Amino acid sequence: MSLSLLGSRQVSTMRYVVLDTETTGLEPREGHRIIEIGCVELIGRRLTGRHFHVYINPEREVDEGAMAVHGITDEFLADKPRFAEVVDEFFEFIKGAELIIHNAAFDIGFINHEFALLKGRSDLGEVRDHCTVLDTLLMARERHPGQRNNLDALCKRYGVDNSGRDLHGALLDAEILADVYLAMTGGQTSLSLAGQSGEDGGPGATAAEIRRLPADRPRTPVLRASAEELALHAARLAAVAKACGGPALWQQLEPDADEASTRH
């Protein structure tokens, strides 16, 4: 189990937790349990580097069909903690966040089932008592009706690298889903050209808060092309124009040398 604090919490708007689970089977009502939880944190539209990841001993066998999907064996899980041993750390990580989950009904159903199995923990209630939930599967179906909208299909559609996803894994899938979510909801993670918080020009900064460079700062040197470099450049352009049957469009739009000289 690891709760990584690899990035400081940013002053921000909304906190999101992208979450995924792996389980012993498909149906908690048949006694199936969670065996892996993976979460990554987003503040606004930035990955913070914080994540929660744990393998869990489900106190039962993993179905063969489930094992074929995620590759997690009974032997591997034998010495892992029970859900009751990790629930407080998990709960603190997700509490108050908006959870981003692909096919949320599945994961939320399993987490609620695990909460319900804990004796004397009525304070946990259900996930939606403490978090809001955004289902990226429902979002994808609205945007791409009639198309495949599983995670692999969305990776292909939005150009997200999933080459390391030979088998399902909760933390890896959460990381991939974070990239897919950002691509689905706008691509760019921020329009800010400054820092990540309002203090240095990030989201929420006002004009007065934008950090400006001093007027007396050293100027950036301008290195101009030499005559030899300009001649080589012109020769290269001439070769390209010959191969293509004419100059590039941007060259055609340039004023000729005589016209340019009259403007100075």
Contacts 24+ apart (CB under 8 A), 167-170: 167/69, 167/70, 167/71, 168/22, 168/69, 168/70, 169/22, 169/36, 169/38, 169/70, 170/20, 170/21, 170/22, 170/36, 170/37, 170/38, 170/53
Residue with tokens 């990580």: 93
Measuring CA to CA, which residue among 60, 40, 46, 59 is closest to residue 169? 40
**Active site (annotated) includes residue 168:** yes
Query: Could you count the other beta carbons within 10 Å of the beta carbon of residue 184?
Result: 18
211, 220, 258 from 215: Cα distances, Å: 12, 13, 37
What would the DSSP string read from start to end of 65-88? HHHHHH---HHHHTTSPPHHHHHH
Look up tokens 């959870």; give the residue: 99
51, 53, 70, 168: the catalytic one is 168
Report whether 69 contacts 172 (CB < 8 A). Answer: no
Catalytic residue numbers, as ranges: 168
